[in-house]
Amino acid sequence: MSTDMLSKKVLILLGSPRKNGNSAALAEQIGKGAESAGADIESLFIQGMDIKPCSACWSCQKPESKQCSINDDMQGVYPKLVAADAWVIATPVHWFNMSTQTKLWMDRCFALAKYGESPFRKKIAIAISYGDMDPFASGAVNAIRSFQDSFKYVGAKIAGIVYGSALNPGDIKLNEELLKAAEELGRKLVID
């Protein structure tokens, strides 16, 4: 294994209010795959952080600005996002889209433009769990589309998306095929 592969950093963002929910289980499998390929893994539980909504002040976009004007836990998250080679974003579907926690984090990523020329130029893996059996009826497709549109806009590369139905906590662990796909996606984040 090359030293380049050993130095890869993967940041996992857990966007569920359940620390050990189904989307977190998918993210854990992605992390296992990345770790098996030599990556260093760090996980952040968004629900447990003080992340305020974007105030649309636009101060982060002014030429003299150095960062977001909101003083909360995102100030510590921004450097981690920039330093990581890949992100894993895990969210359940809530009311036909990504969770509120994930959306708060996503909206605050608007300020990343101040942290270098291309802070979004990383590989991104997305893990989504939803309660309905149908990804269309559940809103999972809306969440997927939100991620695709947002990251296409900023020039980020989505390396892959794993998603599956799981209503009760832990149900996703019964889907062995999905767990294998998640682990393979983790390896892909590091190797490809």
Of the ranges 3-12, 64-73, 146-155, 169-178, which is most confident? 169-178
Mean pLDDT confidence for 104-130: 88
**pTM given for the model:** 0.93
- Determine the structural domain holding residue 84 and report its residue range: 3-191
- Stretch 119-141: mean pLDDT: 93
Confidence tier at 3 by pLDDT (50, 70, 90): very low
Q: Read off the pLDDT band of 1 (50, 70, 90).
A: very low
Residue 72 is predicted with a pLDDT of 97
How many domains does the chain divide into?
A: 1
Q: What is the pLDDT of residue 113?
A: 75
pLDDT in tens, 10-23: 999 999 999 999 99
In which residue are the tokens 């836990």 written? 73
Please say whether the beta carbons of 144 and 163 come within 8 A: yes
Q: What is the mean pLDDT of residues 28-47?
A: 97
Nearest CA among 146, 85, 119 for reference residue 163: 146
What is the mean predicted confidence (pLDDT) over 29-37?
98
Phi, psi of 130 (to 5 degrees): -150, 160
138 CB-near residues (< 8 Å, 6+ apart): 93, 96, 130, 131, 132, 165
Mean pLDDT (whole number) for 134-159: 93
Residues 126, 165, 15, 107: is their CA dihedral positive or negative?
A: positive
CA atoms within 13 A on the CB side of 127: 31
Q: E-strand spans in 1-153? A: 9-14, 40-45, 86-94, 97-98, 123-130
When pLDDT is averaged across residues 80-105 and rounded to a whole number, the result is: 96
Pairing of strands 9-14, 40-45: parallel
Residue 70 belongs to a domain with what CATH number?
Answer: 3.40.50.360
Does the pLDDT at position 192 exceed 90?
A: no
